[in-house]
Structure 1
Amino acid sequence: MRHNKVAISIAGATIDRALERISAARSVADIIEFRLDYLTDLPIDDPRPAVARLIRSTDRPVILTYHPDQVRSSEGAVDVEFQRRFWQQLFPFAESRPVQFDLDIEVAEAFLKRSEPVPWAQVIVSYHNFEQTPTDLLDVYRRLAATPAGVLKIATMARDLTDNLLLLAVLERARREGRPTIALGMGEAGVISRILAPTWGSFLTFGSLTAEEATAPGQLTARELISLYRVPQLTPDTHVTGVIGNPVSHSLSPRMHNEAFKRLHLNWVYLPLLVKDLRRFMTDFVHPSTRKIPWSLRGLSVTIPHKVAVVRYLDRVDETARAVGAVNTVVIEGNRLVGYNSDVVGALRPLQSRLDLRGARVVILGAGGAARAVVYALRRAEADVLVLARRLDRAEQLAQRFGVRAGHLSDVAGIEYDILINATPVGLENPDRDSIVPSSALRPGTIVFDLVPIGTETRLLREARRRGCRTISGLEMLVHQAAVQFQLWTRHRAPLSVMWEAIGESERVREH
């Protein structure tokens, strides 16, 4: 089986610290990258003894990287001639060990201009852009390819998911020309490239030992690359799924679905996909007749803010999703995109396991896509439903659709209820601080269900527990709706216990 390479970057502040991290890196890395530019005690005038210690400390192939202008930008860019002299001292290491040297394109061009001896086969010539992904990226590739370097490298800031298409075009060109190339996007929108680029032909991908030791925005950890996304085993035939939304960095869904795929030995992967422009994403990445990316995309989870807007791009919507007016699951069936709503099941199961919903007085906060699914589910369960929202007109619109009552969010403190459900995103970004419900509105003995799907207790649930309420975490809805999605995509029954374990919970979230 093909094995995609993962290079682990070591960016210790001192030589001793870098040496301490080698044993951890060695256990997961195909290649170890030493970021010499992070070493504050590296003798610049003669780095050879220190670098020799680093190289001798591991039996893994080594990349030596020195881009001091990136690390110490406050001091200004380092002179190219200074870097040229720096590298001249280190090139002799190429004679005794599998060592590669990561040179900025300007430095490589300076060597070419002088016609000086360089172990070009072991050089990685690189271009970095921390601001954007230029539209003329193929021109950048041609500039790199004009050198005799053994590997070409492009790392750019991905401001939008579509920037990855430019990186893909570079890799396709490099593959046709037989030039080993690394092409990676930085930032949240570039995470897809860090996972899938090796399947597109990238020479390798980079990871860090811990999130705190990342050497570039959006860089994933070794554990994420190898254990979560199984990058070494991915192939061009791997079936792809993922969550689309804005934001998605908080999502626990990759942990659940990827662990379930692994446990059932399925060649599938689930990705976080930051989507800002839904129309362009559906055209360029999703629909089989128009997409520009060669992947075996099988389905999507849809979250805020796209659950309602995505409907217009689908070929068919199932009865439940049509009734709800929102889709949280897309399945690609042949050349057709089919929409479903698994939030309905996800909301009902945690509640039905605790009480009979018939006649229960339920207050739902919010009028978005999640609220639609919950109102629909509870209406079918014959609950007495009241929708409250900051915008009364939106609450009334939703209430009229499903034949329930509506009111303004400010009314919540004076309303009697059996169940209170937060179907807004309040608490997602700042769970310790933000709550949409004043503590005075929390009634002892009632159930408070916060749909915010995060692994920590939200302020709303914490205050509700202290007020004597029974609380339900959004993780319960998350897992139950995910199980439905998993089966829709794979035709396999979801391993629920595995999904719970993946997000660090027991099979059933403890009821307070």
Structure 2
Amino acid sequence: MLAASSATAQQATEPAASTEPSYICTSVTATTVKTFLAEIQEAAASGVDIIELRLDFLTDFDPEQHLETILKACPLPYIVTYRPVWEGGKYEGPEPERLAVLKMAALLGAPYVDVEFKASPYFFADPHEVPLSTKVILSYHDFKQTPDAAVLNKLATAMRQAGADIVKLAAMANDIGDAARMLDLLRNKDGPMIALSMGERGQIVRLLAAKYGGHLTFAAMSPERASAPGQPDIGRLAGLFNYRKQTAATKVFGIIGNPVTQSKSPLIHNTAFQHIGFDGVYVPLLVDDLDRFLAAFADYDDFAGFSVTIPHKEAALRAAKDVDPVAAQIGAVNTLIRQADGSFKGYNTDWEAAIAAIERGLAGVPGGAAAAAAAAAAAKKGGGAAAASPLKGKTVVVIGAGGAGRALAFGAAARGARVLIANRSRDRADALAAALAAQYGAAAAAAVSYEDLAGGRVAGDVLANSTSVGMAPNTEESPVPAAVAGQFKVVFDAVYNPLWTRLLLDARAGGATPVDGLQMFVGQALEQFRLFTGAEPPAELMERTVEESMGVKK
């Protein structure tokens, strides 16, 4: 049996709740005692509040020899976890010995010990063995699914009754609606609680735990060292998502899409929010079904607005109770703003941003979206008639008939261009051409076969790709052969990650003027920022932030 001396008890204590209502914790998972001790120091210097000591990862751990040394080495409050394989951990030994190590850690002064709910009857068999100074976290993990709300609430109550100082529930999110149930736990908690959703679809629970009163959330020291699916890294959680400054009053915004991992929207909007002192946070929302997502979060009035990207822009139009006339005409919505009655109004900020970028390409005007926004503001202030669009009388070939394709097509037609639509599904191209013809006349639009375009048999002045072909990680893909890209005067690609897509590289090599999707992305984000906050966007900062993140040199 291990022996403990009160003189060696660790002096670290729980962080003061009055200064930090929700904490950031990272896990030490090195496999040897030597590297474990080094990783403790690395974790302590990473900016976290609490360190989880995952003793079950150690392959050379001798409790008699190493436990006290490990605890003494930790300069921050810490959680001692010795997770068995039956609860997703690494420990495969006898249960009595495992629980004895956790009790000894408590006697040595551990601020927290994590005990699996299933093991709680044995751990608490003699309650006098655990000092009151140690907070016992009773934990439950479901690595396959998220139980329904009734089961989660029953578990939380049973864990509290079993003796938990802090209840911890972690479950796999197979749909973002599962995350709503975990946030509901935090909203309705009756004591300290840690609620976590595993997987990318549940990441918002980790990012928003502070707002909803979670005792702590877990973050990795770096993206590649995440100890659980969907776990953010410390720098992004504390910095980009402003975790420690979130309050119940913080408004939530986000990017709805699938995929969303590659999106720069959280970067551009959170940077701008913090710059102007706006109390909001913008999160990635991996959504499979838009209606299901909106229903799951229907009573979350603090979810104030969303950007909408592939493949949900047309579904967003249907979901909006009220729709801006331009968005209704286009037939696609890329922005949803919650109204006072809880419903959403839909807008489309894509079309003007994309068309302005193409017009600058045709006119040979340098500068990005920020410069264009400044020029537009100056022109509006100065008054006078607007100059004719360089698109007037031109032929624009649009690849794709989805939400972004519709925005490009209607925008080009509104500027006086003739629009040809190529889509792999011909019936969608026909439907879009018919909608344009009904609005702007029979000569304004026509559908062409994708095969004819790829074969170089479709002529035009501008080629505009609205699809996700060429988006990271599939960076060598292009919607058309290289020879076709060079046949146009200007080639626009809505994809902005990577900045130089295969399509744009081929266009430049063929002598066309390439126009990158970053200009559209920044331009539409500027207008979204106005809708989200009611304030003027810091355009140059937003553009520079995204450019720097992508290594763009001006």
**Cα deviations by residue, 1:438-462 (Å, 9 ceiling, x for unpaired):** 1221216732211123245333233
Identity %: 36
2:141 maps to a residue whose letter is H
Q: Equivalent of 1:124, from 133, 137, 143? A: 137
In structure 2, relative to structure 1, the CA distance for the partners of 1:211 and 1:71 (3 Å cut) is farther
Residues 165, 308 of structure 1: CA spacing in aligned structure 2 closer, same or farther, 3 A cutoff? same
Q: Say if 2:320 is the partner of 1:305.
A: no
User: Following TM superposition, by how much is the alpha carbon of 1:161 offset from its aligned partner in structure 2, in angstroms?
Assistant: 1.5
1:221 Cα deviation (Å)? 0.4
State whether structure 2 residue 448 is matched by structure 1 residue 407.
Answer: yes
Letter in 1 for 2:29: A
Q: Is the Cα–Cα contact under 8 Å of residues 27 and 51 in structure 2 kept in the other structure?
A: yes
2:508 matched to 1:480?
Answer: no
Aligned to 1:64: 80
Which of 455, 477, 489 lines up with 2:532 in the alignment? 489
- CA distance in 2: counterparts of 1:171 and 1:316, whole angstroms: 32
Equivalents in 2 of 1:211, 1:83: separation in Å? 33
2:486 partner SS: coil
Quote the offset at 1:217 in angstroms.
0.4
Gaps of 5+ in 2: 1-18, 363-389, 438-444
Alignment check: 8 A CA contact 1:133 1:163 kept: yes
Aligned partners of 2:279 and 2:67: how far apart in 1?
A: 40
- 1:440 aligned to 2:483? yes
Contact 1:497–1:507 (8 Å) recurs in 2: no
The CA deviation string for residues 280-304 of structure 1, in whole angstroms up to 9 with x for no partner, is: 322332xxxxx233x5222111112
Which of residues 204, 222, 234 in structure 2 aligns to 1:192?
Answer: 204
SS in structure 2 opposite 1:431? Answer: coil
Runs of 4+ aligned structure 1 residues displaced above 6 Å come to 70-73, 506-511
CA contact (8 A) 2:67 2:105 kept: no
- Give the alignment's TM-score, normalised by structure 2: 0.83
1:227 to 216, 239, 258: 239
CA contact (8 A) 1:366 1:387 kept: yes
In structure 2, relative to structure 1, the CA distance for the partners of 1:70 and 1:9 (3 Å cut) is farther
What is the aligned counterpart of 1:384 among 415, 418, 421? 418
TM-aligned CA deviation for residue 195 of structure 1: 1.4
In structure 2, the CA distance between the partners of 1:252 and 1:83, relative to structure 1 (3 Å rule), is farther
Which residue of 26, 42, 63 corresponds with 1:47? 63
For 2:459, the equivalent position in structure 1 comes to 416
Moved more, 120-129 or 237-246: 120-129
Give the structure-1-normalised TM-score: 0.90
Matched AA of 1:36: L
Is contact 1:111-1:118 (8 Å) kept?
Answer: no
- What's the CA shift string for 1:198-220, capped at 9, x where partnerless? 22221111100111111110000
Deviations 1:142-167 (A, max 9, x none): 33223213211011001111112322
Q: CA deviation at 1:464?
A: 3.0
Corresponding letter in the other structure for 1:434? E
Q: How far, CA to CA, are the matches of 1:467 and 1:40 in structure 2?
A: 59
Distance 1:267 1:503 in 2: 21
Counterpart Cα distance in 2 of 1:37 and 1:97: 19
> Contact between 2:220 and 2:234, CA under 8 Å: does it hold in 1?
yes
* Residue identity matched to 1:18: F
Give the letter for the 2:77 counterpart: P
CA distance in 2, matches of 1:434, 1:334: 44
1:341 aligns with 2:348: yes
Alignment-mate amino acid for residue 534 of structure 2:
R
Match of 2:544 among 489, 495, 501: 501
Whether the 8 Å contact between 1:500 and 1:506 is mirrored in structure 2 is no
**Shift of the alpha carbon at 1:124?**
1.1
User: What is the letter of the counterpart of residue 92 of structure 2?
Assistant: V
User: Do the aligned partners of 2:316 and 2:336 also contact (CA within 8 Å) in 1?
Assistant: no
In structure 2, the partner of 1:325 is 331
**Counterpart of 1:288?**
none
- Structure 1 position 507, deviation (Å): 11
Paired residue secondary structure (2:129): coil
Q: Is the 8 A contact 1:35 1:64 kept in 2?
A: yes
Structure 1 residue identity aligned to 2:457? G
Structure 2 residue 409 is matched with structure 1 residue 375: yes
Where does 1:87-126 land on structure 2 (aligned, <5 Å)? 87-95=99-107, 97-113=109-125, 117-119=129-131, 121-126=134-139
- Matched residue of 1:208: which SS? coil
1:354 and 2:366 correspond: no
User: Which of the residues 45, 57, 67 maps onto 1:38?
Assistant: 57
Instruction: State the shift of 1:327 in Å.
Output: 0.7
- RMSD of aligned C-alpha atoms? 2.5
Task: Find the aligned partners of 2:509 and 2:86 in 1 and give their Cα distance.
Answer: 49
* 1:37, distance to aligned residue in structure 2 (A): 2.1
Contact 1:431/1:458 (<8 A) preserved: no
